[in-house]
Amino acid sequence: MRIKQWISGMVLAWCAMQVFAVAPIQHWQSSQGGRVYFVQSTGLPMVDVRLQFAAGSARDGQYYGLAMLTNRLLETGAGVWSADQIALRFEEVGAQYSAGVNQDYAQISVRSLTDKRLLDQALATFQAIAAQPQFKEDDFQRIKSQMLMELKQQQERPAYIAQQAFYQALYGRHPYAHLSSGSIKAISALTVDDVKQFYQQYYGAKNAVLVIVGDLTEMQAKHIAEQLYAPLEQGRVARPLADVTLPSKSKVKHIDFPSTQTHVLAGLPVLSRIDADYFSLYVGNHILGGSGLVSILFNEIREKRGLAYSAYSYFSPLAKKGPFTMGLQTQNKQRKVAIDVLQKTLHDFIENGPSDSELAAAKKNITGGFVLRFDNNRKLLNYVAMIAFYQLPLDYLETFQNKVAQVSKEDIKAAFKRRVPENLLQIISVGGASE
Amino acid sequence: MEELFLFEATPVKGKSLLDMEIALKTEIRALQSELIDQKELARVKAQVLAHSVYEQDSLFYQAMKLGMHETVGLGWQTSEVYMQKINQVTAEQVRAVAKKYLVESQLSIAYLEPQSMLMENKMGANYAH
């Protein structure tokens, strides 16, 4: 294992940052047709590998929670190894395994040193998890009760209840309407066969992207890609999700909950990953509620009126229209005032757009801090996985700052007017009585 | 650089804090009297080395580590030889330091015992949500 001089290490890291700014993502298909994305990052003798499948909770069907249960069950027994043996095999070589699910995808990842002996063992284990999960009944029951217990705990959190109701209000019958953590009723009814079937359907090579970021040569990355894709079933590409239809009318719903603070969420389905208005909406929201202590929302809600400690808004872009969310917490008795201010702030922004100075400051903030968003391998892996999974242009990171710079005040105003119809706004609050 | 060497454990249902303390001390005594096997030593080394590489995946942490070593007088170069030194550690050395430092006369023990349910509920009610 080699370690570089500290000073030159720092210089290298700085150079690497400059290289990241042009992010040379190498892309190819494995001999089996699996998509591979590789970024060479030579600063440290380590590598991150991620397999990401179109197997998120939007594929749950009626079985809310199935995608997450399947994803969590993978590491509890695979190949010839039990859950404990798998954990030990990773531990022995200092490798770290992780997995996760959102609406669109399920992913499994491993981080390892590049020393051949260590990396080989980490990858052999990872490969078994991806391609030969055992799905044993007792492991299934254990993970199932874990998820049920977590869900029961979540019922005691107003933030969770608000989010659940918010997604339901925004998405109605669309598969984005339930949270990835599922529901108690649906999970209780799941069997291990449901998991096996879900795995069969969605964990195939054709439904995956493989992302590799680290200190490897292209040859090594190619070899790893072949090794990981070979044992996977071909499978098939998951069908595209249905388009999202906007709610037919606005909604204001309050859920009583014994808490002193009321959680408020307001929003609509708006932004997809590939969206003509992406940058106008993104930059606009940065000004409206995305920039923390200096956003318009924060100023109106907290600075001017002291209604809450924080107020924010953000877009969560997904394969189909992901939510635009405005949120705050306030004292129960101030709920109605706070909701009024939230709505008025949005209305004024849609009518007037940002000021010239607000726009200039936002652009400076976004482009100035941009390089810090992927100044290490972990963050870079997340970006490359996003680009790979949603098939964004490979020069996404290179062109990002320029696209931000091109956004005009008129673009923002027009995009918000067209895409955020305030007369359809869905408003959810969870908390104690306002009197 | 830390001053303290900590052992921490939570007993499963049916076991007392004293059971736990005895179990921990038994492990420590084993470390002082027996040699750890090579496989275990190799496993721990791999983990320590991996961790020291992974934590450098952050410019902030790289800077902090250099600064930390320099501030306490070890010199920033310490980071360079860290891996090399870890690799040289033997089972005999582990046993020797366990004997030298993990001594009863320097031991402090803290028990954290849960209060009754009644107390807990009351605390929960006063907690600001």
Instruction: State ipTM.
Output: 0.82
The mean pLDDT value of chain B amounts to 86
pLDDT for res A309: 86
Residues of A in contact with B54 (CB under 8 A): 46, 96, 111
Residues of B in contact with A9 (CB under 8 A): 56, 62
Asked if domains A22-229 and A251-431 share a fold, the reply is yes
Residues of B in contact with A260 (CB under 8 A): 128-129
pLDDT higher at B79 or A186 = A186
pLDDT higher at A4 or A93 = A93
Tell me the pLDDT tens digit for each residue of A327-364.
Answer: 999 999 999 999 999 999 999 999 999 999 999 999 99
A251-431: what CATH class? alpha beta
Alpha helices in A231-301 (DSSP H): 278-285, 296-298
A18-21: long-range pairs with CB below 8 Å, 24+: A20/A371, A20/A374, A20/A375, A20/A380, A20/A397, A21/A371, A21/A397, A21/A398
- pLDDT tier, A433 (very low <50, low <70, confident <90, very high otherwise): confident
A66: left (phi over 0), alpha (psi -120 to 50) or beta: alpha
Interface of A with B in 241-260 (CB under 8 A): 259-260
CB-side exposure of A24: number of CA atoms within 13 Å?
A: 8
Residues of A in contact with B49 (CB under 8 A): 1, 94, 113
DSSP state of A288: I
Residue A426, pLDDT above cutoff 80: yes
Three-state DSSP at A181 gives: coil
In this complex, is the C-beta atom of A113 within 8 Å of any C-beta atom belonging to chain B? yes
Tell me the pLDDT tens digit for each residue of A175-214.
Answer: 999 999 999 999 999 999 999 999 999 999 999 999 999 9
**Average pLDDT for residues B84-89, to the nearest whole number?**
93
Provide Rg for chain B, Cα atoms: 20
CB-side exposure of A99: number of CA atoms within 13 Å?
A: 18
Domain A22-229 in CATH 1.20.1730.10: no
pLDDT for res A18: 42
Does residue B5 lie within any of the structural domains?
A: no
Interface of B with A in 34-93 (CB under 8 A): 42-43, 46-51, 53-54, 56-59, 62-63, 66, 76-77, 79-80, 83
**Average pLDDT for residues A255-268, to the nearest whole number?**
96
**Average pLDDT for residues A17-24, to the nearest whole number?**
52
Those residues with Cβ within 8 angstroms of residue B102's Cβ, 6 or more apart along the chain or in another chain: B5, B28, B31, B32
Handedness of CA A317, A318, A323, A329 (dihedral sign): negative
**Average pLDDT for residues A81-106, to the nearest whole number?**
97
Domain ranges in chain A are 22-229, 251-431
Does residue B95 lie within any of the structural domains?
A: yes
Handedness of CA A357, A360, A366, A368 (dihedral sign): negative
Tell me the pLDDT tens digit for each residue of A133-158.
Answer: 999 999 999 999 999 999 999 999 99
In this complex, is the C-beta atom of A12 within 8 Å of any C-beta atom belonging to chain B? no
> Are A46 and B57 inside 8 Å of each other by CB?
yes
Residue A428, pLDDT above cutoff 80: yes
CA angle at A167 for the pair A170 and A325, rounded to the nearest 5° = 75
pLDDT for res B2: 63
pLDDT for res B83: 84
The CATH number given to whatever domain includes residue B51 is: 3.30.830.10
Does residue B97 lie within any of the structural domains?
A: yes
Residue B124, pLDDT above cutoff 60: no
**Of A340, A331, A313, which is closest to residue A434 (Cα–Cα)?**
A331
When CB atoms are compared, the residue of A6, A158, A378 closest to B80 is: A6
The token pair that represents A379 in the structure block: 């963050």
pLDDT for res B1: 52
pLDDT for res B119: 47
Does residue B12 lie within any of the structural domains?
A: no
pLDDT for res A19: 42
Residue A235, pLDDT above cutoff 90: yes
Is the pTM here over 0.90, yes or no? no
Structural domain that includes position B92: 17-126
Q: Do A46 and A4 meet the contact criterion of CB atoms below 8 Å apart?
A: no
Q: Do A31 and A226 meet the contact criterion of CB atoms below 8 Å apart?
A: yes
Does residue B7 lie within any of the structural domains?
A: no
- Give the β-pairing of A81-82 and A261-271: unpaired
Residue A237, pLDDT above cutoff 70: yes
> Are B54 and A111 inside 8 Å of each other by CB?
yes
